[in-house]
Amino acid sequence: MDVLIRYGFSIEEIKNMMDTNPDISNVDDNKIYSLIDKLGLIGCMNNYIKNIFICNPFYLNRSLEDIDNLFNKLKEIGITNINILLDSNPYILNLNSEEIEDIYNNLLKEGLTKEEIIDKFNYNSFSIM
Amino acid sequence: MLDEYMISMGFNDKEIFLIKKAYPINKYAESTILYNLKNISNYLLKNSLTNNDIINITLTSPNIIFLSIENIKEKVVALTKLNFNKIEIFTMIKNYPYVIELPIEKIIDKIDFLESIGFNAKEVLINKTNILSVDNYNIQKRFNYFIDKGYKKIDIIKIIENSPELIDCNLNTINKKIDFFKDLGFTDKDIIKITSSLKELLLDSIDDIKNKIDYLIDYGYHDKDIINIIRKIPCILENNHLNNLSKLLTYLEDTGFTKNEIINITCNNPFILLYSIDYLNWKIDNLLKFTSLDKIIKMIKDFPTILGYSIKSINEKLEFYNKIQFRNKIIDNSYLLRYNLEYIKNRYKIITDNKIDNKYYKDLFEDNIVIEDVDKYLFCSDNVFYEKYNITKEELLR
């Protein structure tokens, strides 16, 4: 938990995150650091990271491997600005790579082009989840 | 003397009786038992165990009283050599006192077996020390059961490490639970996901889960809504969240939402169902700085995620849109708040710098005029924007 305080979250914000996801108290500080790093590496700025954590405290339950796979899948389907996507829709982080693939394939089947799917992810990802 | 000492430690009459009954105490001099018990208690107390722990340990494994303190210390040293630290060792003794009596070879054998199928053996032994009493065949059988159900090895390990009781649970009970979720309309993939992410869900009684689902049905949620909600936030099935749920729904009604509106917004953003009332209050109070309650209600109905974003993020966005005279547009189209602010600021800069194309360009902040192109292109699709302003994506994101 110390890491969240050091990262600049207020006690109130941490309390709210823990109310939503009580499992946070069991997450190791090193893992929290690594999860922050993962977001930093894709270009999330400090304020995006805070927004993501507050909006979706369940990100802290994800394994580092799952997150790597998820980011790789998003890149693979053509999302280049994952940081912006996650700031808009932090809930994407609860999906796994297979689910992203399913969403992508279903949209293809509906007749959307690759560009249209990417646009949907970038600007209307809530409608496809 | 022995009785007095045990009473001083907190044993009650029944517990003293049980311990004496469990062992042919008449074969041993009371003074020997007293001596052993004192030594063992002192040793365990020095290692952070409490009198209550000692009572539980002696009741579970009265044999411990007849072990010499040297024997116990030797076992602790042997476990240290297997890379357990002292806190972990005494946690294991507390969880499963028989660990002291087991030959170290048996413990090594279990570690090897658990590691061979992919477990973090140390973690499992600390959390579920009585796995030492379950034979490897039964563990393998449960492991294979989950493989047959389509679980990945990594998920099985996660499930069992989260709920070690599954290692010796009844497979029929698990089968019934999985069938129950299938009957509700969940796919195999959904079931794997929700049972993998939720501690002890497979161990909860079906009646418990039914009651929780019935609560949502009674409120007016449709089956497909409930499936969607559980799929997104399986933890809604945990008791701590469910207890909060009725208060939360009442709070939303008191704020001015109708039941149908509450169902709609929580189906769109089920995370709201996990918020505390204080948290929601805090967020709504913050929005009240920008507009009236009836408009906030409209904004939430149109874009429920507004309640998820951090207050700082929302405030920065609202302040920016206020500054560029987009306040009313945002209130009427709150879903526009989903756009990343830096991205929109970049677009805004490009549009307003492009003075030639702006028919009504004047100093925005002085003359209070919204540029036609800002209105038209601030939220348009990427391709339209790139074409209009002849820039690349990289230039926009720079």
**Is residue B365 very low, low, confident or very high in pLDDT (cuts 50, 70, 90)?**
very low
* Average of per-residue pLDDT across B95-113: 92
Look at residue B368 and tell me whether its pLDDT is greater than 50.
no
- Full domain range(s) for residue A77: 2-128
pTM: 0.75
Long-range CB contact pairs, B110-114, < 8 A, 24+? B110/B136, B111/B82, B113/B139, B114/B139
pLDDT (mean) for B204-216: 86
| Residue B362 pLDDT level (bands cut at 50, 70, 90) | very low
pLDDT at B156: 85
CA distance B255 to B253: 5
Task: Give me the pLDDT at residue A83, please.
Answer: 94
Whether residues A19 and B274 touch (CB distance < 8 A) is answered with yes
Contact yes or no for B271/A56 (Cβ under 8 A)? yes
Which ranges of B47-133 does DSSP label H, i.e. alpha helix? 51-60, 69-81, 86-95, 104-116, 121-127
Find the mean pLDDT for residues B327-335: 92
Q: What's the whole-number mean pLDDT along residues B73-93?
A: 93
Q: Give how many domains chain A has, as a whole number.
A: 1
pLDDT, mean over chain B: 86
- CATH number for the domain that contains residue A82: 1.25.70.10
Predicted confidence (pLDDT) at residue B369 exceeds the cutoff of 50: no
Decide: B326 and B351 in contact? Cβ < 8 Å: no
A117 touches A107 (CB < 8 A): yes
**pLDDT tens digits along A5-24:** 988 898 888 988 998 888 88
Average pLDDT, stretch B9-20?
Answer: 85
B366 has pLDDT over 60: no
pLDDT of B25 reads 54
Q: What ipTM was estimated for this complex?
A: 0.87
pLDDT class of B372 with cuts at 50, 70, 90 = confident
Per-residue pLDDT averaged across B359-384, rounded? 67
Those residues of chain B whose CB sits closer than 8 Å to some CB in chain A are 154, 158, 189, 193, 197, 199, 232-233, 235, 240, 268, 271, 274-276, 278-279, 282, 305, 308-310, 312-313, 316, 338-340, 342-343, 381-383, 393, 397
d(CA B392, CA B398): 10
